[in-house]
């Protein structure tokens, strides 16, 4: 095997991995040498169907322990990616990760930081950025005389998946595995396209409404908006229950650029976009729409471009900051949108900001998805400042009252008992300031209720029953097992749930 051929391993046999296996077969500088599944038979079948000759492993760790593997592709569910990206970085493997890259912004930062510390490249699998069409569209947007300055972006991505079996069994709607639902699966592309159109500026604020959700609070249909400096805007809609659409439009004062298939090309060898300019006929009887420019890019395979790009980085050893930086930026936008939708507060400012926006690069090559052997990618410009995570505000149990809302706590579990409802528990939890009754519902919460457990409770609600308060974590909240052991002793003498309240009418 030539030194310019990078050896890849695939962790998991999800359907999207089949596309990456095609890219690995087409790439001039990469090959698949190993596939891992928790069921070795599945790995062997995947290899037989997609990459004959690769080694099959019956565990993900076995693949990471294979010293021959240089790059790993991780298409595992979002809820599992943190663990395996961290382990891949520990083994000095470059990482191509599916999107959304993590279940939350904090986990995304841990993944990126781990790869940076290990000296390996992190890259998410947003393929359209590396398509030659994207480079051609950028040239149009940069043409001030033709287009003007872009001031609005609109896009949509929807799939008609709304049958009973999909909503009953599909992992895309499993809150533990895919908490972002349609926002993470489809909205990621729309958010990234909006950022791309405005050259990766951070939006000043975002808003989002989950128009339809599952009973567990996983979004199925949504509408989102982004506000950028200077009054520029972007908006998008996504759905698992609407006809197949994946179009995007960038609007300027002079023209509009439109692409009908911005995520995945409609044709294998040709990808198009158009630039149009409207006008008004005499007496406004018609509004003619002139096609100013129509371009067709031939021979570029974006899935292959991604594999070749990351392989070039692995060969050269020149890590590029653009890829992890834009992944974090996109995750930041989605995180703020979730906050907006759950709190129903309208516009929300993203928690993390950066002075130095990601700096994009033009893809190399002639558009055929092939790069020259040994050709090195140009490193992105160095960031002036890293993203700094903003810590959530935690309150103390002793400060809780009937008017409290959106409660974040770090507590220990003192005791548990059965509750009246099915799959429900009553837990007494507390910190050094006091204790309170918590009603846990559903397996995701009750499984964490163990005496002595250290828990992080996010966005809990205060409920009142017959004058006494208790906590409840609804579909917008979350209960997590703390990764650190708390060193306080809960103050059982102050039990917030023992205090009786009465409603006093205003005078």
Task: Please report where in the chains the tokens 């950025």 appear, as a residue.
Answer: 129
Same domain, 75 and 166: no
pLDDT at 503: 57
Question: Are 228 and 156 part of one and the same domain?
Answer: yes
Q: 428 in a domain, yes or no? A: yes
Average pLDDT over residues 249-275: 97
Q: Is residue 359 part of a domain?
A: no
**Whether residues 288 and 254 fall in one domain:** yes
Give the model's confidence band at 374: pLDDT under 50 very low, under 70 low, under 90 confident, else very high: very low
Residues 158 and 39 in one domain: no
Residue 10 and residue 139 share a domain: no
d(CA 318, CA 120) in angstroms, rounded, equals: 9
For residue range 209-246, what is the model confidence (pLDDT) as tens digits? Answer: 999 998 888 999 999 999 999 999 999 999 999 999 99
The pLDDT value recorded for residue 222 is 97
Task: Give the pTM.
Answer: 0.72
Look at residue 11 and tell me if it is in a domain: yes
Beta strand pairing call for 434-441 and 468-472:
parallel
**Which of 124, 148, 167 finishes a domain?**
124
- Residue 505, pLDDT score: 55
| pLDDT bracket for residue 109 (50, 70, 90) | very high
**Domain identity same for 281 and 135:** yes
- Write the CATH number for 99: 3.40.50.720
Examine the pLDDT at 10 and tell me if it is beyond 80: yes
CA–CA distance, 340 with 143 (Å, rounded to integer): 35
Cis peptide leading into 100, omega within 30 of 0? yes
Final residue of a structural domain among 124, 142, 167: 124
| Model confidence band, residue 370 (pLDDT cutoffs 50, 70, 90) | very low
Q: Is residue 167 situated within a structural domain?
A: yes
Mean pLDDT of 148-171: 84
**Which one has a higher pLDDT value, 445 or 203?**
203
For the residues 147-172, what does the mean pLDDT come to?
Answer: 84
> What share of the chain in percent tops pLDDT 90?
66
Task: Please check whether residues 108 and 181 belong to one and the same domain.
Answer: no
- What pLDDT is stored for residue 499 in this prediction? 82
Does residue 325 lie within any of the structural domains? no
Q: Which residue has the higher pLDDT, 170 or 79?
A: 79
Helix axis angle for 78-90 and 105-118, nearest 10°, is 20
Q: Which two tokens stand for residue 417?
A: 């008992």
pLDDT at residue 169, rounded to an integer: 66
Q: What is the pLDDT of residues 422-435, one digit of tens each?
A: 778 899 999 999 99
The pLDDT-based confidence of 385 (bands split at 50, 70, 90) is very low
Judgement on whether residues 401 and 286 belong to the same structural domain of the protein: no
Give the chain's mean pLDDT: 88
Q: How far apart are CA 265 and CA 297, in angstroms?
A: 11
What average pLDDT score do residues 120-144 get? Answer: 97
- Number of domains within the chain: 3
Same domain, 83 and 139: no
The domain that holds 413 is classified in CATH as 2.40.50.140
Q: Quote the CA–CA distance of 34 and 60 in Å, as a whole number.
A: 10
The CATH number of whichever domain residue 164 belongs to comes to 3.30.360.10
- Considering only 58-67, 202-211, 424-433, which range has the smallest mean pLDDT? 424-433
- Residues 393-425: pLDDT tens digits? 788 898 888 767 778 899 999 999 988 777 788
pLDDT for the residue 393:
74
| Residue where the block lists tokens 């396209």 | 193
| Residue of 77 and 467 predicted with greater confidence | 77
pLDDT tens profile 287-342: 878 999 999 999 999 999 999 999 999 999 999 999 999 999 999 999 999 999 98
The predicted pLDDT at position 285 comes to 78
* Poorest-pLDDT segment among 43-57, 205-219, 262-276, 484-498: 484-498
Indicate whether 175 and 99 sit together in one domain.
Answer: no
Q: What is the pLDDT of residue 278?
A: 86
Residue 357: pLDDT band by 50, 70, 90 thresholds? confident
Which residues span the domain enclosing 425?
A: 397-498
Indicate whether 170 pLDDT > 80. no
Same structural domain, 116 and 164: no
Establish if 84 belongs to a structural domain. Answer: yes
User: Could you tell me if 423 and 286 lie in one domain?
Assistant: no
Residue 343, domain member (yes or no): no
Tell which of 272, 302, 332 closes a domain: 302
Q: What is the dihedral of CA 59, 50, 299, 128, to 10 degrees?
A: -30
The whole-number pLDDT of residue 469 equals 86
* Whole-number Å distance between alpha carbons of 314 and 365: 18
Task: Name the range with the highest mean pLDDT among 184-198, 270-284, 429-443.
Answer: 184-198
Q: Is residue 457 part of a domain?
A: yes
Taking a C-beta distance cutoff of 8 angstroms, is the pair 136, 295 a contact? Answer: yes
- The predicted pLDDT at position 329 comes to 97
pLDDT bucket at 384, cuts 50 / 70 / 90: very low
Query: Regarding predicted confidence, which is higher, 475 or 334?
Result: 334
């Amino acid at each position: 095997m030539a030194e310019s051929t990078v050896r890849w391993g695939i962790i998991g046999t999800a359907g999207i991995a089949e596309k990456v296996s095609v890219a690995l077969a087409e790439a001039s500088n990469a090959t698949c040498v190993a596939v891992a599944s928790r069921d070795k038979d599945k790995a062997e079948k995947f290899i037989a169907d997609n990459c004959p000759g690769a080694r099959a492993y019956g565990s993900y760790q076995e693949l990471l322990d294979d010293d021959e593997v240089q790059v790993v592709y991780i298409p595992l569910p979002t809820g599992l990616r943190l663990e395996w990206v961290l382990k891949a970085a520990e083994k000095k493997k470059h990482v191509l990760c599916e999107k959304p890259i993590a279940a939350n912004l904090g986990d995304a930062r841990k993944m990126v930081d781990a790869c940076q510390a290990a000296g390996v490249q992190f890259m998410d699998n947003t393929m359209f950025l590396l398509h030659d069409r994207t480079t051609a569209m950028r040239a149009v947007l940069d043409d001030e005389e033709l287009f003007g300055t872009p001031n609005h972006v609109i896009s949509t991505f929807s799939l008609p998946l709304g049958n009973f079996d999909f909503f009953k069994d599909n992992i895309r709607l499993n809150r533990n595995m895919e908490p972002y639902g349609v926002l993470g699966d489809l909205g990621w592309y729309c958010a990234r396209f909006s950022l791309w159109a405005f050259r990766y500026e951070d939006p000043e604020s975002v808003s989002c409404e989950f128009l339809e959700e599952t009973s567990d609070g996983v979004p199925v249909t949504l509408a989102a908006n982004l506000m950028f400096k200077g009054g520029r805007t972007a908006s998008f809609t996504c759905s698992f229950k609407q006809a197949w659409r994946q179009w995007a439009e960038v609007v300027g004062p002079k023209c509009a650029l439109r692409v009908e298939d911005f995520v995945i090309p409609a044709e294998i060898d040709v990808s198009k976009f158009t630039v149009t300019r409207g006008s008004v006929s005499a007496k406004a009887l018609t509004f003619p729409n002139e096609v100013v420019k129509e371009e067709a890019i031939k021979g570029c395979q974006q899935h292959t471009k991604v594999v070749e790009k990351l392989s070039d980085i692995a060969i050269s050893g020149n890590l590029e900051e653009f890829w992890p930086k834009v992944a974090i930026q996109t995750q930041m936008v989605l995180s703020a949108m979730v906050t907006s939708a759950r709190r129903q507060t309208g516009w929300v400012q993203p928690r993390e900001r950066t002075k130095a926006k990601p700096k994009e690069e033009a893809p190399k090559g002639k558009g055929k998805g092939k790069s020259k052997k040994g050709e090195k990618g140009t490193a992105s410009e160095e960031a002036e400042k890293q993203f700094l995570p903003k810590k959530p505000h935690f309150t103390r149990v002793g400060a809780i009252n009937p008017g409290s809302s959106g409660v974040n706590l770090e507590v220990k579990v003192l005791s548990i008992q059965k509750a009246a409802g099915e799959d429900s528990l009553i837990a007494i939890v507390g910190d050094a300031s006091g204790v309170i009754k918590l009603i846990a519902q559903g397996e995701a919460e009750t499984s964490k209720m163990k005496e002595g457990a250290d828990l992080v409770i996010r966005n809990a609600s205060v409920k009142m029953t017959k004058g006494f308060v208790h906590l409840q974590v609804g579909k917008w909240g979350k209960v997590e097992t703390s990764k650190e052991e708390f060193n306080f002793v809960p103050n059982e003498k102050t039990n917030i749930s023992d205090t009786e309240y009465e409603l006093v009418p205003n005078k």
